């Protein structure tokens, strides 16, 4: 009887397996979908039809997530903790949105901003800011960096970020960014809060800097006039 009973139940168990597998697959897909950094489908939102509209409206995220709220109407930044976006390379800007969405750059608001945009919208808004004339606000402090700071930049940063901090294919431009913002980014790299440079070069460089080095580098870079983004970067 035991053998007969077991054999009678077996087809039901076999039939249940595809159903169970389907449910498991669906659950996994749903799990990844909630943590995904891309909506996977291009938005039909009328506020996501151009980079400028996204920058001014926030796209599907709404006004709270509009780039202009923190970065200014012309991408000039706020002179403190929101950087200049105008004139930065489009590829760099797009990469930063990907890093925010993935958590490689820790910033709760920017994470949400990036996740409200699909891949196409990120390209649009990056191209919009790259095409703008780089404008900066007046430095928040009149304190000037020293010649020693210029030498420090040449030794530690120039290879990747270029002469006059104008950027290279290996690193973004740093000129004309707020001193506080630049210093905070260096501290984040130092503590490995910010990641995503591939070979961890920024981690190594930042960890060789002292607190005063970081402060004066911020002052030094803030006073260098920015240049427009090179074409194709």
Instruction: Map out the domains of the chain as residue ranges.
Output: 1-35, 42-137, 143-233
CATH of 42-137, one of 1.10.645.10, 1.10.760.10, 1.10.287.3510, 3.30.450.20: 1.10.760.10
**Is 60 exceeded by the pLDDT of residue 12?**
no
**Is 80 exceeded by the pLDDT of residue 42?**
no
- The reported pLDDT for the residue numbered 85 is 97
Long-range CB contacts (within 8 A, 24+) of 169-173: 169/233, 172/88, 172/89, 172/92, 173/87, 173/88, 173/89, 173/226, 173/227, 173/229
Same fold, 42-137 and 143-233: yes
Question: What's the pTM value of the predicted model, to 2 decimals?
Answer: 0.77
Map residue 157 onto helix, strand or coil: coil
Tell me how many degrees the CA angle 56-60-64 measures, rounded to the nearest 5: 55
- The reported pLDDT for the residue numbered 113 is 95
Superfamily in which the 143-233 domain is placed by CATH: Cytochrome c-like domain (1.10.760.10)
- On the CB side of 74, how many CA atoms lie within 13 Å of its CA? 7
| pLDDT band, residue 197 (cuts 50/70/90) | confident
- The reported pLDDT for the residue numbered 7 is 43
| pLDDT tens per residue across span 54-94 | 999 988 888 889 999 999 999 999 999 999 999 999 999 99
Cα–Cα distance for residue pair 61/114, rounded to 1 Å: 9
Pinpoint the alpha helices (H) of the chain. Answer: 2-35, 51-57, 67-71, 90-102, 108-116, 119-130, 147-156, 158-161, 179-190, 201-207, 211-222
Average pLDDT over residues 133-157: 85
In 3D space, the residue among 57, 73, 117 whose CA is nearest the CA of residue 93 turns out to be 117
Map residue 168 onto helix, strand or coil: strand
**Is 50 exceeded by the pLDDT of residue 33?**
no
């Amino acid at each position: 009887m035991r053998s007969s009973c077991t054999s009678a139940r077996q087809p039901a168990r076999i039939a249940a397996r595809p159903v169970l597998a389907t449910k498991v697959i669906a659950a996994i897909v749903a799990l990844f979908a909630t943590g995904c950094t891309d909506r996977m489908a291009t938005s039909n939102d009328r506020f996501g039809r151009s980079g400028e509209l996204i920058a001014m409206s926030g796209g599907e995220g709404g006004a709270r997530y509009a780039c202009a709220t923190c970065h200014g109407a012309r991408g000039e930044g706020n002179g403190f903790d929101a950087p200049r976006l105008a004139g930065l390379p489009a590829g760099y800007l797009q990469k930063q949105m990907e890093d925010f969405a993935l958590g490689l750059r820790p910033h709760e608001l920017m994470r949400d901003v990036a996740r409200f945009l699909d891949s196409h919208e990120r390209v649009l808004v990056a191209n919009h800011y790259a095409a703008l004339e780089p404008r900066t606000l007046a430095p928040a402090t009149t304190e000037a960096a020293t010649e020693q700071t210029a030498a420090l930049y040449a030794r530690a940063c120039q290879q990747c970020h270029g002469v006059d901090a104008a950027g290279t294919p290996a690193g973004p431009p740093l000129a004309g960014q707020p001193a506080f913002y630049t210093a905070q980014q260096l501290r984040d790299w130092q503590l490995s809060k910010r990641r995503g440079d591939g070979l961890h070069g920024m981690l190594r460089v930042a960890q060789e800097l002292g607190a005063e080095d970081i402060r004066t580098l911020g002052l030094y870079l803030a006073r260098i006039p920015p240049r427009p983004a090179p074409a194709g970067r």
